[in-house]
Amino acid sequence: MPEFKVHNLWPIPVYDSKIPVKQKWKDFIINLKYDRTHINNSDISKDRYILNNMPELKAEIEKHCEHYVRKYLTVKPNTQFYLLNSWSNIHNPKEYSQIHCHVNSILSGVYYPIIPKNSGNLCFHKAYNMKNIIDQNILLEYEELNNITAQKYILNVEEGSIVMFPSHLDHSVERNNSNEKRYSIAFNFYVRGKFGKEEYELEIK
């Protein structure tokens, strides 16, 4: 067998960690007022800035964002990431979330304060323009799919999971096959700061 290397170029980084859930956070999102989504597959909180009223959780999420962008992505300190908006979702039994991405933001994420067993995992989907050998008009068969060859990647989540990812990344939520409601908190980050040099300098305040 010849020696070889495989260089996985330009992967999309998905951050996966934990924040222990507090009962008061569960109580807060349960007691929020909700509307039905326009595609009728879940409920969404009327308040689209709920983390402003959950300062402890907001601070924890901001801490994880800083760890993600500074320690892993090595973003320089001239870029300040700030929480743009945040809301709660309810998926009742048999409901799901369609494939979508988040516009008008840089980073997006989700936190899981209440997620019953069998209530659905988070799925990431390969975009149509992300080409590799599986997409070249040849139907190849693989012994085992992985994060290189699969068209969909399922991330198993549980109570306390926090996941962050670039906002353009397509994602969905599996069907809730439990008999209970599934609650999640979604959020987006944007940036402030000075970027570039000389005639290419840009400042976002």
Q: What is the pLDDT of residue 101?
A: 96
pTM of the model: 0.92
**137, pLDDT greater than 60:** no
Instruction: Among 8-12, 23-27, 35-39, name the one with the lowest average pLDDT.
Output: 8-12
Q: What share of the chain in percent tops pLDDT 70?
A: 95
Contact criterion met (CB below 8 Å) for 34 and 92: no
Those residues with Cβ within 8 angstroms of residue 83's Cβ, 6 or more apart along the chain or in another chain:
51, 58, 61, 62, 187, 188, 189
Provide mean pLDDT across the span 6-11.
Answer: 86
- The three-state secondary structure class of 185 is strand
Record the tokens describing residue 173, joined without a space. Answer: 């939520």
Tokens 């800083």 label which residue?
A: 66
Task: Answer with the residue of higher pLDDT: 113 or 128.
Answer: 113
Record the tokens describing residue 150, joined without a space. Answer: 């699969």
**100, pLDDT greater than 60:** yes
Per-chain mean pLDDT for the chain: 92
To the question of domain 15-194 being in CATH 3.10.20.810, the answer is no
Q: What is the pLDDT of residue 93?
A: 98
Instruction: Among 55-64, 104-113, 124-133, name the one with the lowest average pLDDT.
Output: 124-133
**165, pLDDT greater than 80:** yes
Provide mean pLDDT across the span 67-80.
Answer: 93
Task: Answer with the residue of higher pLDDT: 139 or 187.
Answer: 187
d(CA 106, CA 4): 36
